[in-house]
Structure 1
Amino acid sequence: MGIGIVYRVGRKVLGVLATVARSERALMAEVLAPRQGNAVLRRQVARVRHEPTERAWFAALSASGCASQRVCTRSTGAPRRSHIDIYVWRHPMAADLEQGTARAAQGMHFDASLDCWVVDGYAEAVAVMREPALEIPLLPLPAAHLADSEQATLTPLWKQAMDTPLYSSGKAHRRLRAQLRGPFTHDAVDRWRPTIRRVADAAIDACTPCGKLEVIEDVAGPLLRQVMAEVVGIPQDRRAEFDLLANASMDAGKLATPQWSSAVLVEAARAVEQLGDLVHDLLGRADELPTGSVLARAAARRGADGGLSESELATNVRSLYTSGVYTTVFLVASAAYLLFCDEDVLREARRDDTVIRGVVHETLRYACPAVETNIRRATRDISIGMQTIRRGQFVRTAVLYANRDPQRFDAPDLFDHRRPSQGPSLAYGVGPHVCLGNHLATAVAEEVLRALAQPRRDVRLDTPHPTFHRRAAIPVMWGPDRVHLKLGPN
């Protein structure tokens, strides 16, 4: 008990130090996250010891890493172009980026301190994402930091990730994507757009009487929960229950953070079991499922060769819902901020709502919600450009940097919604693991911004202005904490 108290106190102290003091010691803690990830992954190929202090530093990191944000202004002091500093981890480019200066593209290099390849060039990132010999391995559980009972409970939940497209490969991967992609194609998403716009309009109108709204809490969050429930196939009368269970199941990901406890694990395991029961029940009520949804399509193919089992369906419905809600929300918030912080762009969008498409696509490049892609491991020796990645080595792809590669993009640190196409953003990835919901996420952001930019609503940016952070709960994601807007007449 005494050791536990000392550990908890020490972890909180580390968290405060890492958050408040941007010292070299705190910066070194930030380096430990990739290093810890590599060390844990290496358990799959070699035994590695993990000291309790590593977990404490990792917890401190989860509560810290953030990106500073500042707004360039005109002489009048009105917000104009937003300059958002990139902050991923401390490697040789970080100092230049934090000062907003130009950088020379390195493309990729092996970082001995991180014990992995770091990819930050656009062309190299594309090659990495398309390379089938670079697998996305599932992190094994840090058994040394779990009680036997915790490990026994958590292991089955952890292994369910292998039933999702992200952690599968080859035939298994292609089978999962083929069974799940139906509601996420271009044509299917176009059919969802009227629903998205209707929900967005209703959420904004509900805030009109008070004259203000916060994009994440009042619009993006509620809209995404409703739209994603519709897309995966949850009937209206079961959505509150499903959302509660999906959120509880996600709490298993709090391992090694200050929010972790045995009670959290018990609730997560119970939620996963109840979600399985809920999906089983819904498949027996096929006529009540939303048309065109994941579950409706699965119910229609029930019993066919190659179809998903109920367990696979439950895992993927939960995964699609939570990832759709908790990643897209940062895209919507970032795009809203970049639209409303520039009066010229906002005037254009109010005259011509096709401008919104350019704003969203440039947001995906300039303020990419993904800090990095999932870590990859080479299953054999491969060559990327002039470099050779050896079998068993790990690769981390810094998407935020790659999306501002001066070798690919002109004036990469300038937000330009009319930028001519110089290659797609890497926010959704490319290759076999490209985000399944990329068309839907883009459509949600576009429809929300179109609704907000309607001249009759006279929406304007309000204070306090947002700060862009890495998210403690989802460390690979990055975005504004809040975006406040005013509605109605000045």
Structure 2
Amino acid sequence: MTSPLGGDFVARPDAVLAGLRERCPVARVRTPAGQPVWLVTREADVRAAFLDPRLSLRGGPPKPDRPHRAMDMTLVNYDPPDHTRIRRLAAPAFTPGRVAAHRRRTEQLAADHLAQLGTPAAVDLMADFAEPFAFAVLCEVFGIPGAAAGRLHRSVTDLIRHRDTERAVDELDAVIREQLADRRAAPGDDAFSTVLHTWEASGEATEAELVDLLAMLVLAGFDSTVQMLGLAVLALLDHPAELARLRADPALMPRAVDELLRWDTPGPFATRRRALTDVTIGGTVIPEGSGVLLSVAAANRDPRGRAAPDRLDLTRPGGSRHLTFGAGPHYCLGAALAKLELTAALTALLHHWPAIRLARPAASLTWTGGHQHRRLTALPLLLT
């Protein structure tokens, strides 16, 4: 059994996934940790698998040797009907109307961060812009005040970088519970208040489930957006004709964002699933109990689903049909907010820095993380 997901996979997953998709679209492989898993790579199979209730996300219960903490059970550890019950608590905070209400403030935050940077000779897009911008939007949407923002930033970044994780989880748990107490005393119009109000009105979940949900929303909405912004800028700089096209016609931006989301993603695979019974996918029988990884990155570039998938085309018809945000019951709750942030950030970047280019070859960039979540550590840019 092969292990194709190690080595330089995080830097160039497309080459590995394309080979699997064409030669063995449902392949039994080992993860870099040595665990056997079935890899599904063709678009039709991945779409069908997202909707198949026989592929479960349910995780085991948290350890009983300590009190419950945030992130012990997240939304992706549940199957319907429990998943549906808990997801309902957050859905009102992320409707298209609620997300659209943040548009002007998000655009202003992007412009303000770029104005503070000015026009130096060089910047690191990730540390100098993407991370502070995404965190500022997170605080805006969730109504995190300045006093708590620093603690939240420290805990979230430590968890992402796997530094002192026990302390980071404790601090994240404390911040979430403090913010809930503040909203009970003085509700606002932020996502924390909306989720809390829905929870109090529904009576459908425990307080532990509420804390888990809010912690997941905060954590998931930050680093994925930071990394996607870096990948989007990298893709545009690697395709100067498309970048020039976008500069000439800024109205293309919504379609461009969907194409950039299709083109590359920090998460090549959906959350690992487990087969509850024997399941046949693409003519291959996956035995009961097996782990299953659905490759959204491979599906997004499947030539059976779209013409010339290995060409970046910012005017691609039907571009929103990509699977980067998943499909079915587990479709990403924050998809509309992520698109809003990418649209605002890229629009501001192209306006404020009209002549950016890579400071060193793309092949020399450093990647961390693993096959489930890739991280571009830095994106050095020259601005002149």
TM-score bracket, normalised by the shorter chain, equals 0.7 to 0.9
Say whether residues 1:221 and 2:131 are aligned partners.
yes
Equivalent residue in structure 2 for 1:167, among 72, 77, 81 = 77
Q: Offset at 1:371?
A: 1.6
Q: Which residue of 1 aligns with 2:25?
A: 107
Q: Which residue of 2 aligns with 1:177?
A: 87
Equivalent residue in structure 2 for 1:128, among 30, 33, 49 = 49
Q: Which residue of 1 aligns with 2:374?
A: 478
Q: Offset at 1:189?
A: 1.8
Change (3 A) 1:407 1:67: same
- Alpha-carbon deviations, 1:17-54, whole Å to 9, x = none? xxxxxxxxxx97x55x7xxxxxxxxxxxxxxxxxxxxx
How far apart, CA to CA, are the structure 2 residues paired with 1:301 and 1:393?
Answer: 37
Q: Offset at 1:319?
A: 1.5
Say whether residues 1:282 and 2:179 are aligned partners.
no
Say whether residues 1:387 and 2:291 are aligned partners.
no
Change (3 A) 1:194 1:269: closer
Identity across aligned pairs (percent)? Answer: 22
Letter in 2 for 1:120: T
How far apart, CA to CA, are the structure 2 residues paired with 1:110 and 1:265?
Answer: 32
Q: Offset at 1:450?
A: 0.7
How far apart, CA to CA, are the structure 1 residues paired with 2:375 and 2:157?
Answer: 20
- Alpha-carbon deviations, 1:218-265, whole Å to 9, x = none? 2111111111122233234422233234445x37x94xxxx6xxxx35
| Paired residue secondary structure (2:105) | helix
How far apart, CA to CA, are the structure 2 residues paired with 1:275 and 1:380?
Answer: 40
How far apart, CA to CA, are the structure 2 residues paired with 1:265 and 1:453?
Answer: 37
Q: Which residue of 2 aligns with 1:118?
A: 39
How far apart, CA to CA, are the structure 2 residues paired with 1:333 and 1:452?
Answer: 12
- Alpha-carbon deviations, 1:416-475, whole Å to 9, x = none? 222222771111111111111111111111111111112x64232131244566632x64
Letter in 1 for 2:14: I
Contact kept in structure 1, 2:152 and 2:172, CA below 8 Å: no
Matches within 5 A, 1:265-414: 266-268=166-168, 270-287=170-187, 289=188, 291=189, 293-301=190-198, 303-306=200-203, 308-414=205-311
Considering Cα pairs closer than 8 Å and 6+ residues apart, tell me whether 1 or 2 has the greater RCO: 2
Letter in 1 for 2:372: V
How far apart, CA to CA, are the structure 1 residues paired with 2:289 and 2:378?
Answer: 40
Letter in 2 for 1:131: D
Q: Offset at 1:176?
A: 1.4
| Paired residue secondary structure (1:420) | coil
Letter in 2 for 1:444: E
Q: Offset at 1:110?
A: 4.1
Say whether residues 1:433 and 2:330 are aligned partners.
yes
Q: Which residue of 1 aligns with 2:356?
A: 460
- Alpha-carbon deviations, 1:107-164, whole Å to 9, x = none? 32445896432201010011111111211143789x9xxxxxxx945x9448x443x3
Matches within 5 A, 1:66-81: 66-68=9-11
How far apart, CA to CA, are the structure 2 residues paired with 1:279 and 1:410?
Answer: 48
How far apart, CA to CA, are the structure 1 residues paired with 2:320 and 2:344?
Answer: 23
Contact kept in structure 2, 1:372 and 1:397, CA below 8 Å: yes
Change (3 A) 1:323 1:423: closer
Q: Which residue of 1 aligns with 2:19?
A: 93
How far apart, CA to CA, are the structure 1 residues paired with 2:235 and 2:29?
Answer: 34
Contact kept in structure 2, 1:405 and 1:412, CA below 8 Å: yes
Change (3 A) 1:118 1:464: same
Contact kept in structure 1, 2:183 and 2:192, CA below 8 Å: yes
| Paired residue secondary structure (1:128) | helix
Q: Bigger radius of gyration, 1 or 2?
A: 1
Q: Offset at 1:85?
A: 5.8
Q: Offset at 1:400?
A: 2.0
Q: Which residue of 2 aligns with 1:243?
A: 153
How far apart, CA to CA, are the structure 1 residues paired with 2:223 and 2:16?
Answer: 19
How far apart, CA to CA, are the structure 2 residues paired with 1:343 and 1:115?
Answer: 41
Q: Give the CA RMSD over aligned residues.
A: 3.2
- Alpha-carbon deviations, 1:345-380, whole Å to 9, x = none? 233222221222233212212212212111111223
How far apart, CA to CA, are the structure 2 residues paired with 1:301 and 1:361?
Answer: 31
Unaligned runs of 5+ in 2: none
Q: Offset at 1:301?
A: 4.2
Letter in 2 for 1:199: L
Q: Which residue of 1 aligns with 2:98?
A: 188
How far apart, CA to CA, are the structure 2 residues paired with 1:266 and 1:337?
Answer: 34
How far apart, CA to CA, are the structure 2 residues paired with 1:238 and 1:415?
Answer: 41
Q: Offset at 1:393?
A: 2.2
| Paired residue secondary structure (1:118) | strand
- The answer to which of 339-348 and 391-400 deviates more is 339-348
Q: Offset at 1:86?
A: 2.1
Contact kept in structure 1, 2:10 and 2:371, CA below 8 Å: no
Contact kept in structure 1, 2:26 and 2:41, CA below 8 Å: yes
Change (3 A) 1:233 1:105: farther
Unaligned runs of 5+ in 1: 1-26, 34-60, 69-83, 95-102, 144-150
How far apart, CA to CA, are the structure 1 residues paired with 2:226 and 2:213?
Answer: 19
How far apart, CA to CA, are the structure 2 residues paired with 1:140 and 1:302?
Answer: 22
- The answer to which of 186-195 and 474-483 deviates more is 474-483
- The answer to which of 338-347 and 362-371 deviates more is 338-347
| Paired residue secondary structure (1:127) | helix
Letter in 2 for 1:132: P
Change (3 A) 1:390 1:446: same
